Amino acid sequence: MKFSILFSGQGSQSQGMGQFLFNEFKEARHVFEEASDALQFDMKKLCFNGSDEELALTENTQPALLTASTATAEVLTRQFGVQTEATAGHSIGEYSSMVLAGVMSFTDAVKAVRFRGQAMQSAVPAGQGGMTATLGLNEAQAQFLCDYAVQKSGTGPLSPANYNCDGQIVISGNLKTLNWLKENFKPEIFVENGLSEAKRAKLIPLAVSAPFHCAMMKPAEEKMSLFLSGVQFQNAKYPIIQNVHAQIETAPEKLKHNLITQVSGSVRWMQSMNVLKSLGNPHVIECGNGSVLKGLLKKIDSEFFKVYSTNSLDDLKLIETAQKS
């Protein structure tokens, strides 16, 4: 049996992530040691003992998640013989897909995401950008809401950042625009403008350090383009469904281009999972910390997807058992 391997993004981090793998498997220990050598600080200390505040710093979050998820993937493939059908990663998780598929070395990837985190954090001064989760809206409604707020408020930009699932779309951009929307939003605007009604629509401001995946991240995208120009990319060993256009790619130049434009582009996760579904294999592993993606897949298609977590030794044994069935 083959599995599709998925990697989550920011928000899935927590103190202690990857520690049980480090304690049990030499493959995981090697990954943590490689990360520490590459970045010249103790990755074990950050992942196992870092405070919530330390782990929430984008320049820490991104390499920590990449390290924990890569350690998990190494254990799955080398110790448990897991075979990959396809792979995808949510935002920063896409770098984990690149490592799994042999596109980038882990050392190159962990240096890149450390730089990416620093570039994204410095792209927008504190207090100028933000992100808001919209609940109960479809794609058309979320896009209209952003355009409406920009037009009516006279500020911007604002655009859909994460298409997580139908009814859960995150928008990102100018904090002035988001604050205007918070004060002036009424569900009636959709029907008034020829769209389907959204009586239960809600807006929930998110506690984030920057407005990720929107036009305000263009300075960070330009920095990533320069950084990745010096990084060697290889052909992918497995199909990678990329965020920016929800399509399968394997060629190095396209993978690199899409990884760069992803910094300011939308994460089309719902659309990507529909592409994954079209491949016909329902067996999915959420590789790394937490169960965020498992929850999203339940909302996207709970009847089709069979999702396995990797948060404990028992979880890994369930995967091992499933392979034999």
Domain borders along the chain are 2-123+215-324, 129-205
Single out the catalytic residue among 8, 91, 97, 159. Answer: 91
Mean pLDDT score, 264-271: 98
Q: What is the pLDDT of residue 208?
A: 86
Determine whether domain 129-205 maps to CATH 2.40.170.20.
no
Look up residue 297 and give its DSSP letter: H
- In the chain, the percentage of residues whose pLDDT exceeds 70 is 100
* pLDDT band, residue 126 (cuts 50/70/90): confident
Which is nearest to 211 in space by CA: 137, 266, 275? 266
pLDDT at 168 over 80: yes
User: What are the residues facing 89 on neighbouring strands?
Assistant: 7
Domain 2-123+215-324: homologous superfamily in CATH: Malonyl-Coenzyme A Acyl Carrier Protein, domain 2 (3.40.366.10)
pLDDT per residue as tens digits for the range 281-297: 999 999 999 999 999 99
**How many other CB atoms sit within 10 Å of the CB of residue 137?**
26
| Strands 202-205 and 168-174, sheet pairing | unpaired
* pLDDT band, residue 59 (cuts 50/70/90): very high
Our answer to whether residue 213 is catalytic in this structure is yes
Our answer to whether residue 69 is catalytic in this structure is no
Q: State the chain's mean pLDDT as an integer.
A: 96
178 token code pair:
């988001």
| Strands 83-89 and 306-308, sheet pairing | unpaired
pLDDT per residue as tens digits for the range 204-230: 999 888 999 999 999 999 999 999 999
Single out the catalytic residue among 213, 245, 264, 309. Answer: 213
